[in-house]
Amino acid sequence: MPELPEVEVVRAGLERHVVGATITRVEVLHPRPVRRDPGGPAGFAAALAGRRIEAARRRGKYLWLPLDNGDALLGHLGMSGQILVQPADAPAERHLRVRFVLEGSDEGRPFDTARPSPTQDKEMRFVDQRMFGGLSISTGGADLPPEIAHIARDPLDPEFDDDLFVRKVRKRTSGVKRQLLDQNLISGVGNIYADEALWRARIHGERPGDRLTAAQVRELLGHARDVMVSALGQGGTSFDALYVNVNGESGYFDRSLHAYGREGEPCERCGTPIRRVAFMNRSSYFCPVCQPVPRKRRTPARPVPMPD
């Protein structure tokens, strides 16, 4: 599943290529991606026609494009979603679901590496093989769509509260990896980057939050930030052709991973084979030496009743 760095790469691409453009026409080629929009495919298309894209924003793994009428086009990539910006005459992708025909662009900036004329016709395309992603119109959601207002800020957000995060983690008895994936506590840290941050911090994902020191939680948060910043610099991870930016280019950070996806390979610190275990219908990867499994809590013995 695309994680924060992948989604941020897409957001930045949209900011560069479609901000300032006007949506002249929308074609919904499959109804499932707009299933959450109350207007249905026809209402979705009609509401967006003629609207100007004002910005490109993100909260966690959600993207939204504020529109000139105060509404927003809200999107989530799901498992395999892509948002591409293509020349209007480019062949349709195999799993093209929604097509947005655009006119104009912010400051006339080009949208592909060939550097075409700014007036060249282009399209924004939502491509999704598995169709777990989706698009909808958020009424009055230009600043922050109410549908995602409950989602916490991510570690790269300048307004993220480190002290509050540390306090909340240390009050909970649940495993720290589970907390890293809790979008109400911290957003954007998915399975891949959680494993990488935990490996760097030498902490096992099942370690309860209340058994971590404030310094350990703060260090782990710092590693999560470092991992995501590094991934941003390389365009995110790319384990298959599904993870691409708006130009269809894959990321390369998967080549820099220390734990995730490396089952049986030697730990780069101690040489012990990386281990994989099942976790929340996914997998966790860790070094059993550098990240020892936490001891189970001792259950207080019940007093033995004395005979009368």
Q: Active-site residue numbers?
A: 2-3, 61, 282
**Six-digit token pair at 58?**
């993100």
CA distance 279 to 286: 12
What does DSSP assign to residue 20? T
Q: What is the DSSP string of 58-75?
A: EETTEEEEEBTTS-EEEE
CA distance 41 to 31: 6
Estimate the crossing angle of helix 214-233 against helix 191-201, to 10 degrees.
130
- Is there a binding annotation on residue 211? no
Torsion of CA 24, 30, 34, 39, to 10 degrees: 70
CA distance 290 to 271: 10
- Is there a binding annotation on residue 172? yes
- Is there a binding annotation on residue 16? no
CA distance 28 to 99: 7
**Six-digit token pair at 51?**
């609207």
**Which residues are part of a known binding site for DNA?**
95, 130, 172
Residue numbers belonging to the annotated binding site: 95, 130, 172
